[in-house]
Amino acid sequence: MGGRSPAVARVYRGRFAPSPTGPLHFGSLLAAMASFADARACGGAWLVRMEDLDRPREVAGAAERILDTLRAFGLEWDEPVIYQRERAPAYAAALQALDAQGLTYPCGCSRAEIVRLGRMGAEGPIYPGTCSQGLAPGMRARSIRVRTRAQPMHFTDRIQGEQTQSVEDSTGDFVLRRADGIHAYQLAVVVDDAWQEITHVVRGADLLGSTPRQILLQRALGLPEPSYAHIPLVLDDRGRKLSKSLASAPVDASDPLPAMHRAWACLGQPPVTGAGSPAAFWKRAIEEWRIERIPRRMSIGPQRLAPVDR
Ligand code: GLU
């Protein structure tokens, strides 16, 4: 796995950022394949970042197993894998930079209090700003939040199109450091995408609603904004998202081609014929890849998961 090419570095640097909370399932495979194909079709670099910040949810051995599965699927990364558990000093520095601008504050609210007081938003209760003017007497700081603004954030997603969201109205001031001391995903992802010089993010549509929070942090920290593409989520036969924590069936690393063909069809791409190995699959697939063919939808149902004969 070679070094960074400066010519490519400016053009396209993509990434796949799994959380090691279980083996790679089909929905994650889709995100890995889409980000890989898009990077390679653009002559870009493709990196892997292990998002192992949430130690309590981590499953022992999952990170190694995910990497083995990616290899089995011919998904080869270009630089050493980054592990978020080693990056706490960088997240702390970013938190400090936000604090120096007066953009953060300690919050003493418990989850139960926020559920009781906050309006319900698409991603849970909206923080009502209880601690934004200081902790009430006797209250102990638990988490650290960032001050958000009412003004809408805009971005154009390469798949889902124009997006507008006021972070204040949809989530409110969000957590940057959790009560257990762990830095929040929203902060870590922004710091690491910038550190790894990611230019293009291709990931699941469950994170479309997080993107305005990430852009807000990028702007506050003076970091570049990557371009975003959110692929549809794959739902199971009961209309639920396939996710690792629901212990969905892991993809079979000993027989990758059937899942690769199914994933490729889910991504709206034309069939790849006559490929006897993942390497041969990619050789043809990358030439054919067009991100415009991905269905402009937030989710796709199980009918697309039917076996594909090759
Ligand atoms: N670690 C996240 C996940 O596995 C993905 C984060 C991202 O792609 O920004 O869902």
Q: Is the pLDDT of residue 163 over 80?
A: yes
pLDDT band per the 50, 70, 90 thresholds, residue 234: confident
Q: What is the average pLDDT across 80-85?
A: 98
Could you report the per-residue pLDDT of 92-112, keeping only the tens digit for each?
999 999 999 999 999 999 999
Pocket of ligand 1 (CB under 6 A): 17-19, 51, 189, 203, 207
| Count of positions (residues) in the chain | 310
The larger pLDDT score, comparing residue 308 to residue 177, is at 177
In tens, the pLDDT along 261-295 reads 999 999 999 999 999 999 999 999 999 999 999 99
Closest residue by Cα to atom 5, ligand 1, is: 17
Question: How far apart are the CA of 85 and the centre of ligand 1, in A?
Answer: 15
In a mutational test of the pocket of ligand 1, which residue from 15, 16, 19 has the highest number of ligand atoms less than 8 Å from its CB? 19
Instruction: Report the alpha-carbon angle 135-99-155, nearest 5.
Output: 110
CA of 306 to the centre of ligand 1 (A): 26
Q: Per-residue pLDDT for 10 more than 80?
A: no
More confident residue, 302 or 214: 214
Percent of the chain with pLDDT over 90: 82
CA-nearest of 266, 197, 193 to 6 is 197
| pLDDT over 50 (residue 17) | yes
In angstroms, the CA 265 to CA 256 distance is 15
**Facing residues of 29 across strands?**
none
Mean pLDDT value of segment 33-53: 98
Domains and CATH numbers, the chain: 6-85+189-305 (3.40.50.620), 88-154+162-185 (3.40.50.620)
**For ligand 1, mutation pick of 29, 51, 67 (most atoms within 8 Å of CB):** 51
* The pLDDT of residue 304: 54
Q: Strands of 10-167 (E only): list them.
A: 13-16, 45-50, 82-83, 104-107, 120-121, 124-125, 143-146, 153-157, 161-165
